[in-house]
């Protein structure tokens, strides 16, 4: 299978802190790959390093066959990467509709994708004129994902979509992500192992800034020792 | 509605108190005095707003406290004056300016170029310095020898004061076109171009920016346009000068306003992209930098235009006299372009007290529309909150930063040239207005756009009312005492208003609660 994203041994510094100390992530086209690991392991930083918000100081990020590390974030994103950050980062001073429109990369993106987005998240439809602040946590998460769907993206980086959401909404979110995976590749950071194991085909475990184990999710589910050791779950 | 009332009780009470104060102030004076004072307040408020809104936009998005904002206001005034009173000087400056800018237009190309060339580590360290140094040397050698027809600060007969006076009375001093004597024309032109490219390259290396993924061809187009402008203005220098001096003062004024505003914007873009940008991670240095720029700006203005204050004539459209003037109705005014008009028996100066507030309102609405209705505005509003997320959407936030800085400085420069015919030009005109603007923002809310407008108007009004009461005095109730506020009370009163409002509403009238 073809590799859409290949992260090779990246080292990332935040200030003087050496946060990532060798992370490798290989993402096959058309799959969902989960980044797993404890709190503070470096999962978010890995996503941010891919999109260039915390550019890696060493190593390579190869996206669709081209090295993109060191380029500016907007340049990397414009190549077709959608970023759904940890705390949703909905723009408060913008309406829900504007939160979607701002993500247009080509004029008309929003109109082209509107129906698709409403099919996926029917709730958003009646919220369009509200300000970003008026949304509940679940609605904000939907909006954050929807925002990444407005432009033509081939790769979605989604950081903890289930964080702080009620079980019903998590299920809804999972269905949406599964649907999205049909057309695009997804890198998913997920603390909830149950959610991650149901969604993802592949996984990479990050531990103290290093990728320590990777493979098929099916194998990990049976590898109780690894789960216990790296994720602390049963 | 009820929740709105409850949430904003303090704000509403404060506003009501201000309104009551205002009505009380109105009761104490004659109608004609009131009209004039009100309009003057709005005029000062408008100018304050032009400075405050730009400052607040820049601070909101970029987190840069641009302490040079008042100086840039002043520079706008002086640039506008130059175009208006000495079009020949302005035309002479176009060629060298276009050349100086051309190198910087190439922007992104330099980091790409730098990655193509392989050089050793020590060379890499020396090269930026060497480039910038060479560039400065070249500029320093060519610019003083470049012929520009200009006034002479040291000689009263040829000073800006005299030229202003002559322009006002409709006669222009004969000006000899400057000629290339100390340096040959091709050498000067090519030298400036080279100096600009070297300088821009060097600065780009300092900034050590990430390389763009692809070359932006638009950069070459703007480079080519600048070269073309330089060449055309060089060739057609004399005919352009003749055309400008032949224009009516109204059109010349329009051009002066445009040139001042655009120069302000261009200067802003240049300052942001070369000086401010490397310091985003060091806010304190940034503060010191803008403070230094302010001082340097004032010195430059003193060197070029001199220390003495001078006036800028008003365009003919606002300068009519005699006959039916002061006009008593609009038709009379329109027919005679009277400089004053009678409103409720008050003699109102049309340019100062009507035109400036109108421009203020137009700018207020245009910027509001820009923020609320355009994509750029959307990006600015989003960027104020979360720059990283905007960038991660594929938007070049840095370019938006440059645009906002340019916009902010452009607004200040617009304020400057508008103020020039009413306030006159002086080295200190920026400082007093900048202080006004800071107080206005503290009152209205530091990064709140409507707040900037409200604060500016309040500051303008309170100053003008205190000044007026300084003339007519306040009758203290139940006594025979008439209290006359003295001039020092004017700045004090605005500061007092600010202190009171900040005590009640720490984020200003319309500022967001943190
Ligand atoms: N701005 C920062 N300054 C200093 N250290 C930071 C900064 N941001 C992150 N870190 C550190 O980097 C490490 C990795 O952080 P990161 O957010 O990538 O972890 P994570 O795996 O996403 O954790 P979580 O599951 O809690 O989101 C943490 O130890 C964190 O403390
Ligand atoms: Mg995280």
Give the list of residues 6+ apart from residue B389 with CB closer than 8 angstroms, or none.
Answer: A83, A85, A89, A91, B382
DSSP state of B329: S
Q: What is the pLDDT of residue B68?
A: 94
Instruction: Give residue A135's domain range.
Output: 3-231
Give the list of residues 6+ apart from residue B283 with CB closer than 8 angstroms, or none.
Answer: B63
Identify the residue with better confidence: B55 or B507: B55
Q: Could you tell me the maximum CA-CA distance found in chain B, to the nearest angstrom?
A: 86
Q: Phi/psi of residue A98, each to 5°? A: -65, -35
Mutation target vs A (from B212, B282, B372, B392; most A CBs, 10 A cutoff):
B392
Q: Which of A71, A85, A89 sits opposite B213 (nearest CB)?
A: A71
The mean pLDDT of chain B is 87
Q: How far is CA B20 from CA B33, B171, B201, B218, B278, in A?
A: 18, 51, 59, 56, 49
Using a pLDDT cut of 90, give the percent of chain B over it: 44
Query: How far apart are the C-alpha atoms of A226 and A212, rounded to whole Å?
Result: 10
- Closest residue of B to A48, CA-based? B392
| Closest CA–CA distance from residue A82 to any residue of chain B (Å) | 7
Confidence of residue A144 (pLDDT cuts 50, 70, 90): very high
Average pLDDT for residues A124-136, to the nearest whole number? 87
Asked if B393 lies within 8 A of A83 by C-beta distance, the reply is: yes
Lowest mean pLDDT among A132-141, B112-121, B416-425: B112-121
Q: Which of B17, B44, B21 is nearest to B437 (CA)?
A: B44
Q: Where are the beta strands (DSSP E) in A71-194?
A: 81-84, 155-159, 185-189
Confidence of residue B232 (pLDDT cuts 50, 70, 90): very high
For B238-255, the pLDDT digits (tens) are: 888 888 888 888 999 999
Paired tokens of B212: 């763009």
Q: How does strand A202-207 pair with strand A155-159?
A: unpaired
Number of domains in chain A: 1
Asked if A71 lies within 8 A of B381 by C-beta distance, the reply is: no
Q: Is pLDDT of B362 > 80?
A: yes
Q: What is the distance, to the nearest Å, from the Cα of residue B347 to the centroid of all Cα atoms in its chain?
A: 29
DSSP state of B425: B
Concatenate the DSSP letters of all residues of A167-179 into one string: HHHHHHHHHHHHH
Ligand 1 pocket by Cβ (under 6 Å): A 14-15, 17, 19, 37, 39-45, 86, 191
Q: Is pLDDT of B209 > 60?
A: no
Confidence of residue B219 (pLDDT cuts 50, 70, 90): confident
Query: How far apart are the C-alpha atoms of B481 and B470, rounded to whole Å?
Result: 14
Q: Are B445 and B512 in contact (CB under 8 A)?
A: yes
Average pLDDT for residues A23-48, to the nearest whole number? 92
Average pLDDT for residues A96-125, to the nearest whole number? 91
Q: What is the pLDDT of residue B207?
A: 64
3-state SS of chain B: helix, strand, coil percent to 5? 75, 5, 25
3-state SS of chain A: helix, strand, coil percent to 5? 40, 30, 35
Asked if B391 lies within 8 A of A72 by C-beta distance, the reply is: yes
Average pLDDT for residues A181-207, to the nearest whole number? 90
Using a pLDDT cut of 70, give the percent of chain B over it: 95
Give the list of residues 6+ apart from residue A144 with CB closer than 8 angstroms, or none.
Answer: A84, A85, A88, A89, A90
Q: Which of A37, A41, A30, A36 is nearest to A5 (CA)?
A: A30
Query: How far apart are the C-alpha atoms of B415 and B418, rounded to whole Å?
Result: 5
Q: What is the pLDDT of residue B213?
A: 64
Q: How far is CA B24 from CA A181, B20, B418, B465, in A?
A: 68, 6, 31, 11
* Cα four-point dihedral sign A108, A109, A112, A115: negative
Give the list of residues 6+ apart from residue A41 with CB closer than 8 angstroms, or none.
Answer: A206, A207, A208, A209
Average pLDDT for residues A109-119, to the nearest whole number? 90
Q: Could you tell me the maximum CA-CA distance found in chain A, to the nearest angstrom?
A: 51
Q: How many CB atoms lie within 10 A of CB A188?
A: 26
CA atoms within 13 A on the CB side of A12: 31
**CB within 5 A of ion ligand 2: which residues?**
A 44, 86
Q: How far is CA A24 from CA A47, A203, A207, A211, in A?
A: 12, 11, 12, 6
Q: How far is CA B47 from CA A224, B53, B356, B358, B468, in A?
A: 71, 10, 8, 11, 19
Q: How far is CA A224 from CA A32, A44, A201, A218, B511, in A?
A: 21, 25, 17, 12, 54
Q: Is pLDDT of B6 > 80?
A: no
Assign A201 to helix, strand or coil. coil
Average pLDDT for residues B276-294, to the nearest whole number? 90
CA atoms within 13 A on the CB side of B54: 34
Q: What is the pLDDT of residue B49?
A: 96
* Closest ligand by atom to A40 CA: 1
Identify the residue with better confidence: B326 or B46: B46
Does B152 reach chain A within 8 Å, measured CB to CB?
Answer: no
- Closest residue of B to A54, CA-based? B388
Query: How far apart are the C-alpha atoms of A24 and A61, rounded to whole Å?
Result: 9
Q: What is the pLDDT of residue B70?
A: 95
Length of chain B: 514
Q: Are B147 and B92 in contact (CB under 8 A)?
A: yes
Q: How far is CA B109 from CA A71, B103, B462, in A?
A: 14, 10, 51
Tell me the CATH number at A210: 3.40.50.300
Q: Are B256 and B414 in contact (CB under 8 A)?
A: no
For B136-191, the pLDDT digits (tens) are: 999 999 998 888 888 888 888 888 888 888 888 777 656 666 778 788 888 999 99
Q: Phi/psi of residue A28, each to 5°? A: -70, 145
Q: Are B408 and B58 in contact (CB under 8 A)?
A: yes
Please give the distance, rounded to the nearest whole angstrom, from the Cα atom of residue A58 to the centre of ligand 1: 18
| Closest CA–CA distance from residue A69 to any residue of chain B (Å) | 10
In what helix (H) or strand (E) does residue A210 lie, and over which residues does it extend?
Answer: strand A210-216
- Closest residue of B to A89, CA-based? B389
Which residues in chain B are closer than 8 Å to A61, comparing Cβ atoms? none
Confidence of residue A234 (pLDDT cuts 50, 70, 90): very low
pTM: 0.88
Q: What is the pLDDT of residue B1?
A: 58
The radius of gyration of chain A from alpha carbons, rounded to an integer in Å, stands at 17
Q: Which of B211, B386, B392 sits opposite A91 (nearest CB)?
A: B386
Q: By a Cβ cutoff of 8 Å, what residues of chain A touch chain B? A: 51-53, 55, 66, 68, 70-79, 83, 85, 89, 91-94, 98, 101-105, 147, 151
Q: What is the pLDDT of residue A8?
A: 92
Q: Is pLDDT of B419 > 70?
A: yes
Contacts across the A-B interface (CB distance below 8 Å): 77
The residues with which A155 forms a beta bridge, in sequence order, are A81, A185
Q: Which of A190, A206, A195, A205 is nearest to A84 (CA)?
A: A190
Q: Is pLDDT of B38 > 80?
A: yes
Query: How far apart are the C-alpha atoms of B188 and B182, rounded to whole Å?
Result: 10
Return the domain boundaries, chain B. 2-109+147-182+215-504
Q: What is the distance, to the nearest Å, from the Cα of residue A164 to the centroid of all Cα atoms in its chain?
A: 16
Q: What is the pLDDT of residue B378?
A: 93
**Closest protein CA for atom 3 of ligand 1:** A14
Q: Are B407 and B268 in contact (CB under 8 A)?
A: yes
For B59-68, the pLDDT digits (tens) are: 988 889 999 9
Which residues in chain B are closer than 8 Å to A66, comparing Cβ atoms? 213
Please give the distance, rounded to the nearest whole angstrom, from the Cα atom of residue A87 to the centre of ligand 2: 9
Average pLDDT for residues A141-154, to the nearest whole number? 92
């Amino acid at each position: 299978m073809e590799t859409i994203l290949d992260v090779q041994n990246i080292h990332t510094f935040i200030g003087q802190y050496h946060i990532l100390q060798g992370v490798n992530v290989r993402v096959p086209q058309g799959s969902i790959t989960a980044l797993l690991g404890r709190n503070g392991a470096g999962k978010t930083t890995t996503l941010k390093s891919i999109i260039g918000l915390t550019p890696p100081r060493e190593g390579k990020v190869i996206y669709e066959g081209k090295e993109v590390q060191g380029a500016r974030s907007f340049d990397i994103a414009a190549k077709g990467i959608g970023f759904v950050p940890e705390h949703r980062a909905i723009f408060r001073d913008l309406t829900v509709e504007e939160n979607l429109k701002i993500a247009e990369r080509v004029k008309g993106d929003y109109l082209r994708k509107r129906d698709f987005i409403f099919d996926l998240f029917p709730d958003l439809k009646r919220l369009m004129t509200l300000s970003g602040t008026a949304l509940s946590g679940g609605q904000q998460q939907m909006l954050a994902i929807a925002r990444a769907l407005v432009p033509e993206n081939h790769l979605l980086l989604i950081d903890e979509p289930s964080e702080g959401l009620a079980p019903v909404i998590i299920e809804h979110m999972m269905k949406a992500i599964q649907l999205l995976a049909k057309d695009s590749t997804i890198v998913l950071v997920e603390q909830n192992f149950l959610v991650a194991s149901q969604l993802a085909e592949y996984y990479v475990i990050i531990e103290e800034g290093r990728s320590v184990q990777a493979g098929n999710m099916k194998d990990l589910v049976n590898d109780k020792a690894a789960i216990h050791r790296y994720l602390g779950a049963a | 509605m009820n929740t709105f009332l409850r949430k904003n009780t303090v704000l509403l009470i404060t506003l009501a108190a201000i309104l009551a104060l205002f009505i009380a102030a109105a009761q104490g004076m004659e109608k004609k005095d009131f009209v004039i004072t009100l309009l003057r307040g709005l005029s000062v408020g408008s100018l304050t707003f032009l400075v405050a809104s730009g400052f607040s936009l820049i601070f909101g998005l970029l987190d840069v406290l641009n302490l040079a904002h008042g100086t840039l206001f002043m520079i706008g005034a002086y640039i506008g004056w130059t175009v208006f009173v000495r079009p020949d000087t302005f035309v002479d400056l176009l060629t060298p300016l276009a050349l100086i800018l051309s190198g910087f237009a190439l922007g992104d190309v330099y980091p790409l170029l730098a990655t193509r060339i392989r050089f050793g580590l020590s060379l890499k360290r020396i090269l930026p310095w060497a480039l910038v140094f060479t560039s400065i040397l070249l500029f320093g050698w060519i610019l003083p020898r470049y012929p520009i027809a200009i006034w002479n600060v040291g000689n009263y007969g040829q000073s800006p004061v005299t030229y202003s006076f002559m322009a006002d009375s409709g006669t222009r001093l004969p000006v000899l076109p400057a000629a290339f004597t100390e340096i040959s024309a091709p050498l000067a032109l090519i030298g400036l171009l080279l100096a600009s490219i070297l300088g821009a390259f060097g600065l780009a290396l300092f900034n050590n920016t990430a390389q763009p993924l692809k070359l932006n061809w638009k950069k070459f187009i703007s480079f080519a346009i600048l070269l073309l402008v330089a060449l055309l203005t060089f060739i057609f220098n004399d005919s352009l000068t003749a055309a400008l001096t032949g224009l009516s003062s109204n059109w010349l004024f329009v051009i002066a306003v445009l040139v001042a505003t655009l120069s302000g914007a261009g200067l802003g873009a240049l300052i942001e992209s070369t000086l401010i940008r490397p310091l985003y991670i060091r806010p304190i240095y940034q503060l010191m930098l803008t403070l230094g720029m302010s001082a340097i700006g004032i010195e430059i203005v003193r060197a070029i235009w001199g220390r003495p204050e001078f006036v800028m004539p008003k365009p003919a459209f606002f300068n009519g006299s005699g006959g039916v003037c002061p006009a008593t109705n609009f038709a009379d005014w329109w027919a005679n372009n009277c400089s004053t008009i009678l409103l409720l028996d008050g003699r109102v100066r049309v340019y100062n007290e009507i035109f400036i507030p109108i421009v203020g309102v137009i700018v207020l609405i245009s910027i509001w529309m820009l923020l609320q209705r355009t994509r750029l505005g959307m990006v600015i509003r989003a960027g104020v909150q979360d720059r990283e997320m905007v960038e991660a959407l594929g938007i070049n936030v840095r370019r938006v930063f440059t645009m906002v800085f340019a916009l902010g400085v452009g607004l200040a420069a617009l304020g400057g040239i508008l103020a020039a015919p009413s306030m006159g030009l002086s080295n200190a005109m920026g400082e007093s207005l900048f202080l006004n603007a800071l107080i206005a923002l503290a009152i209205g809310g530091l990064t709140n756009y409507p707040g900037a407008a409200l604060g500016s108007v309040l500051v303008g009004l309170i100053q003008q009312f205190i000044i007026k009461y300084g003339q007519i005095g306040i009758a203290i109730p139940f006594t025979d005492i008439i209290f006359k506020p003295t001039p020092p009370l004017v700045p004090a009163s605005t500061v007092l208003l600010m202190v009171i409002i900040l005590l009640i509403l720490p984020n200003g009238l319309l500022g967001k609660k943190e």
